[in-house]
Amino acid sequence: MLAEGRRLEHIPYLAFLPYLPLERPVVFSNWWLGPAARFRRPWASPEFHTASRRFLTRFRTADGRRVTSPAILAHRERGADGRLPSAHEVEILEATILFAVLDANPEWSEEVDARRVATSDNADLFLWPIDVGGGVTMGPHGLIVQHITGGLRFTRRGFRVPGPLALSLPRKLTLDADLMGALVGAMSMAGPRQPESDAARMLRAIRWYGKAWRNDLKLDWGERVVMLKTAFETLLNEDDTRMAARKIERLFCRVLGTRDTDLLWKPKERRRVVTYTKLSGNTAHEARTDLMDWCITFGEARNTVVHKGLSPEMMYACPGGSAYDGHLFHTGSRLFREAVKVRLEDVGFPMMWASARVRHGVRLFTRIRQRLARSRRGGCSTRTSEAVTVRTPRP
């Protein structure tokens, strides 16, 4: 959150996420993201270090409890040097962190523990100037009616920054560094002046996805469906529901082929003939896969909200059952993330659709195979006394 056009070049900026509790730091692309208490990289100055640490202790939840595990974002080499990334870099970082945070959530079920669920509010990235001499900062608020609150003296006794009323602090999250690096790489393939590129579309789609995940009571499920449907349309560059469903199927088929994965989509989804009513009132017959049937139902739910002003049925149940059965919004959220991950492989970042555990195993197997190949080329026996230790990452 940075007020455009109000960058103060002579004052160092702190990049922080006060409401993002992380289990451990994550290093991705050129960046370090982790708990402020575990940051050991350089600071712009000892004074900036001291002032920033003190400032972060001032954040509170809506009910007045201290935020005990704020996160900071810093350059992996330069550390917290106080420099501001470019506006385009900030957009990419915001989208990357947002996607990774929401992807770290457990799969939805009616029994899921709400204390394990993060929302977009937890992924908010703040970029505020820290006047180390006067112990003062300033923060932007609002867009239609803009406020720049200056002269916030965080060294003053009793100074507090209250959290949003809808804020929920989940248990500590573990983010996927490989996925975050791939997202930064993919969205950096085009500059800010190429809005029609796939990279720009992915960035905008993730932003729409994030809007659907704000923990705001004023957004009902129907409105969230509209935002999520917009995210799909942006990612696929297609607003026709049936065409969008075919694009997703072609994307999965092209990248994954016949590989069996843990994704919702499967290479051999059944096809069945469905009878439906057109807008003209006439009936028609159509062959649908499980994915297409879900996509059409999802599109109809969006139209129910936009064109009829009604609340759609949020629980989807395919005749005969399918992997897509369940809450429309949560199934759609998972399908959107999986589509983004498969798209990443399409642009040169393989296997982001697989779990971190699977990717770790594949890398380990590849290293062992390469080591054996080098031994054979060198005329050595394939037997070796060197022990290979397999460390399985914690889920």
Question: For residue 162, what are the contacts with CB-CB under 8 A and spacing of at least 6?
Answer: 60, 61, 62, 64
Residues 36 and 164 in one domain: yes
Residues 90 and 180 in one domain: yes
Residues 240 and 296 in one domain: yes
Residue 8's pLDDT band (boundaries 50, 70, 90)? low
Alpha carbons within 13 angstroms on the beta-carbon side of residue 291 total 24
Residues 231 and 320 in one domain: yes
Q: Comparing 54 with 7, which gets the higher pLDDT?
A: 54
Q: What percent of the chain has pLDDT over 70?
A: 92
Residues 34 and 170 in one domain: yes
Q: What is the pLDDT of residue 272?
A: 87
Total structural domains within the chain: 2
Q: What is the pLDDT of residue 149?
A: 67
Residue 9's pLDDT band (boundaries 50, 70, 90)? low
* Residue type (1 letter), 314: M
What confidence tens digit (pLDDT) does each residue in 165-197 have? Answer: 999 999 999 999 999 999 999 999 988 888 899
Residue 147's pLDDT band (boundaries 50, 70, 90)? low
Task: Please indicate, yes or no, if residue 374 is contained in any of the structural domains.
Answer: no
Interatomic CA distance for residues 16 and 58, integer angstroms: 13
The arithmetic mean of pLDDT across residues 366-370, rounded, is 86
Residue 1's pLDDT band (boundaries 50, 70, 90)? low
Residues 159 and 292 in one domain: no
Question: For residue 14, what are the contacts with CB-CB under 8 A and spacing of at least 6?
Answer: 48, 52, 55, 72, 80, 82, 126, 127, 128, 129, 130
Residues 37 and 125 in one domain: yes
Tokens of 292: 């297409």
Contact 36, 71 (CB under 8 A): yes
Q: What is the mean pLDDT of the chain?
A: 89
Task: Please indicate, yes or no, if residue 92 is contained in any of the structural domains.
Answer: yes
Q: What is the pLDDT of residue 395?
A: 41
Task: Please indicate, yes or no, if residue 288 is contained in any of the structural domains.
Answer: yes
Helix (H) or strand (E) holding 222: helix 221-236
What confidence tens digit (pLDDT) does each residue in 281-323 have? Answer: 788 888 899 999 999 999 999 999 999 999 999 999 998 899 9
Residues 120 and 30 in one domain: yes
What confidence tens digit (pLDDT) does each residue in 245-269 have? Answer: 999 999 999 888 878 788 999 988 8
The answer on pLDDT for 7 being more than 60 is no
The answer on pLDDT for 394 being more than 50 is no
Q: What percent of the chain has pLDDT over 90?
A: 66
Residues 178 and 234 in one domain: no
Residues 225 and 175 in one domain: no
Residues 35 and 158 in one domain: yes
Q: What is the pLDDT of residue 335?
A: 98
What confidence tens digit (pLDDT) does each residue in 71-89 have? Answer: 999 999 999 999 999 999 9
The arithmetic mean of pLDDT across residues 126-142, rounded, is 83
Residues 144 and 234 in one domain: no
Phi and psi at 22, nearest 5°, equal -115, 145
* Range from 45-49, 356-360, 388-392 carrying the lowest mean pLDDT: 388-392
Which of 63-67, 229-233, 272-276, 373-377 has the highest mean predicted lDDT (pLDDT)? 229-233
Distances from the Cα of 132 to the Cαs of 6, 16, 17, 111, 154, in angstroms?
18, 16, 20, 47, 11
Which domain range does residue 311 map to? 220-347
